[in-house]
Amino acid sequence: MGHVFEGWFASEDDFQSQLQRKLVQCPVCGAHDVAKRLSAPRLNLGAQPPRPTASPAAPAASAPQPAPEPSPQAGEQLQAMQAAWMQWSRKVAASTENVGDRFADEVRRMHYGEIDERAIRGQASPKQARELVEEGIGVIPLALPEGGSGTLQ
């Protein structure tokens, strides 16, 4: 979804191997569909791109244009928002108990006074979430990354 993050890999083969085994994921949204950007110790910023040459007799074919790069200010804002999101999601993960797929059962038991209330998080299907809301149980869907409670390397 356009999130930017850094990762270190021993080699391109190591990155591809981890990507195929779904060991690489976006720390913001948890997606495994990530792409590696250009990484180099030095970029040749002085080179000029080649200019297209068009024959005066034939108009140039219109090729699809790449999406414009965001302005430096937009990029900085995006990075700041992602950093704030990661900080917040780690705080949520650290202050709640992960009950996994037992979430609907646990929150229902708390709502009906069968167990003491506590801060929990977990997974519920869309159907389970609708049923909880219909019962008057307030739940909030959050897209927390799987690795949000750990450190990112």
The average pLDDT across 135-150 equals 75
CA–CA distance, 106 with 118 (Å, rounded to integer): 10
Show the domain range for 28: 1-36+76-85
Residues 25 and 80 placed together within one structural domain of the fold:
yes
Counting the structural domains of the chain, the total is: 2
CA–CA distance, 139 with 129 (Å, rounded to integer): 7
Give the model confidence (pLDDT) of 104-141 as tens digits. 999 999 999 999 999 999 999 989 999 999 999 988 88
Single pTM value for the model: 0.51
Tokens representing residue 66 in the block: 């790449």
29 in a structural domain: yes
| Residue 67 in this model has a pLDDT that exceeds 70 | no
Q: How far apart are the first and last CA of the chain?
A: 21
Provide the mean pLDDT of the chain: 78
